[in-house]
Amino acid sequence: MPKCCRRCSVALVLACLAPWLAGGQTAPGAKPLIAIVKSTGLANPPRVEYSPRPLEQMAGPGNRNGESAALPAYVRILGSPAQNSRTPGSPKPGRWSVQWQSPLPSAASAVMVGSDRVLVQRSGGWSLLRRNGEKIKDGISGGVVITLDASAGAFYALGAGNALQALALENGELRFSIPLGFTEAFAWPLVWRDGKRIIAAGVETPMFSHNPQPPTESLFHVTEVASPLKLSPYKVLLSMTMHQNLEFKESNMMPVASGSILWAILPDLLIRTSSSQNIDGAWSGSFRAISASADESGWLHMVVATGEAPTDRELWVVTPDGRRTVRAKVPLSYGESKYPPTIGYDHRIYLVGPQTVAAFSPDGALLWESQPLGSIAGVSVTPDHRVVVAAGSEIVVLDSNGKTTQLAKLPSAARTCPVVTVEGEILVGTETNVICLLPR
């Protein structure tokens, strides 16, 4: 099927056309860096030119809009669509032991908690449990980062035909599905809801074939769900008041969402948009993002490559209006890790390597480095400014000075970030089980 047949009837197409732009100005007679094509089915859709500005360095950490953030729900791998690994609870003192463990059909990749349910993303699917570990249902899912939407009593997975599924958090039954209109060559690293709009970020990936074609695009797909809900006999969503794409002619796109702010991170380019699909800002530079996350105000935190050597790695912090407040060298111990920066409630920044955690102040000063007891599967940062680490078969805690304290021993090596619930439990996934720990 040709690519033009896969599009929705309303689309926004954004193409990266020229990497040479300087100073945010377009040279006479030259093409702009970004061309936005708005299509409503016309044969010759209108074009809107948009020229990004260069990233500007700003002295100091800037205005952080207060020092505290609201307690988040842990709704997907790395905590939230912002990927900042904040967890809602803090470990309590005591002798930790296994309260319960529940077997999984395949290895866990993320554990989430919502209301009275535990949701586990695992290889090829998901498992839904009660808070006491009792299994409710197992299901299958394609290439999507499963997201829990507790306020809607739902979670989102990927079904057959590359259709986004909204599933009931109560029992795992299908509520409705949204055909995304793209082939299975696309992976979906971000799904989240903004009011009545459901946003899915898609990235084209290489496919095995006799005549392989390199991937060329990525996108944000937005569906606005109308009330009352109308479904087909097969539970395909029919009541849609918006169904459109914002497309990038670049497959190397990294999406991060924080509140109403949506970042698209491309080679040498940052784009800020939202569920409205307007371009709210774009900034150019010379970099390749390795990992990225955001804080509660939408400040972007990135580890970027500025050259080819492993030593050419920097930590950047960028405000929503395109000002860079931090530019710091990344320790060699970070290596080629793609783990996004963990952002504390006090805006400390933690970089996670294969066996090392490094802490930075909000203005980019390296505070300490710590090596927990084994290979790191994941970390979470707590409201009382500690870092909980799943390292090998150990759960350990790092205090504000990087001192390590062992909390618990697992029956086998961890595979996920440790989630500390408001009630004080720690949940973590392994190759074969999801485990709940409690202090005695």
Residue 153 falls inside a structural domain: yes
Per-residue confidence (pLDDT) for residue 97, from 0 to 100:
93
Query: What is the CB-side half-sphere exposure of residue 218 using CA atoms within 13 A?
Result: 22
What is the band of 27 on the pLDDT scale with cuts at 50, 70, 90?
Answer: very low
Name the residue with higher pLDDT: 28 or 338: 338
**CA distance linking residue 260 with residue 197, whole number of Å:** 11
**CATH value at residue 310:** 2.130.10.10
Q: What is the mean pLDDT of the chain?
A: 87
pLDDT for res 247: 83
The residue type found at 231 is L
Mean per-residue pLDDT, 191-213: 88
What's the pLDDT band for 181 if we cut at 50, 70, 90? confident
User: Tens digits of per-residue pLDDT, 346-356?
Assistant: 999 999 999 99
Q: Is the pLDDT of residue 203 over 50?
A: yes
208 burial level (CB within 10 Å; 0-12, 13-18, 19+): exposed
pLDDT given for residue 69 in this prediction: 64
Model confidence over 105-122: pLDDT tens digits?
Answer: 999 999 999 889 999 999
Is pLDDT of 15 > 50?
no
Residues of the chain with pLDDT > 70: what percent? 86
Task: Return the pLDDT at 419.
Answer: 97
Location of structure tokens 């490094």 = 358
Number of domains in the chain: 1
* Residue 348 placed within a domain: yes
**Cα angle: 288, vertex 249, 340; to 5 degrees:** 35
Phi and psi at 332, nearest 5°, equal: -60, -25
Structure-token match 């709940």, residue found: 436
DSSP state of 334: G
Q: What are 419's strand-pairing partners?
A: 427
Asked if pLDDT for residue 395 goes beyond 70, the answer is yes
| Per-residue pLDDT reduced to its tens digit, 28-79 | 333 344 555 544 444 554 555 667 888 888 866 665 554 556 778 899 999 9
Rg (CA), the chain: 22
pLDDT of residue 31: 38
CA-nearest of 408, 407, 414, 409 to 432 is: 414
Is the CB of residue 112 less than 8 Å from the CB of residue 130? no
Q: Is residue 358 part of a domain?
A: yes
pLDDT over threshold 70, residue 292:
yes
Beta bridge partners of 138: 127
pLDDT value at residue 37: 52
- Mean pLDDT value across residues 226-253: 90
pTM of the model: 0.90
Q: Is residue 60 part of a domain?
A: no
Is residue 95 included in any domain, yes or no?
yes
61 is a domain residue: no
Residue 416 belongs to what domain range?
Answer: 3-52+76-439
Whether 4 has a pLDDT exceeding 50, the answer reads no
Residue 11 has pLDDT above 90, yes or no: no
The size of the chain, in residues, is: 440
Note whether 434 and 417 are within 8 A (CB). no
Q: What's the pLDDT at 64?
A: 58
Please say whether the beta carbons of 110 and 127 come within 8 A. no
Question: By three-state DSSP, how is residue 160 classified?
Answer: helix
Tell whether 148 is covered by a domain.
Answer: yes
pLDDT at 248: 85
Q: Please give the structure tokens belonging to residue 158.
A: 């990927």
How many helices and strands in the chain, by DSSP H and E?
A: 0, 37
Per-residue pLDDT band for 187 (boundaries 50, 70, 90) equals very high
Given a contact cutoff of 8 angstroms between Cβ atoms, the answer to whether 76 and 82 are in contact is: no
For residue 62, being part of any structural domain is answered with no
Contacts of 209 (CB under 8 A, 6+ apart): none
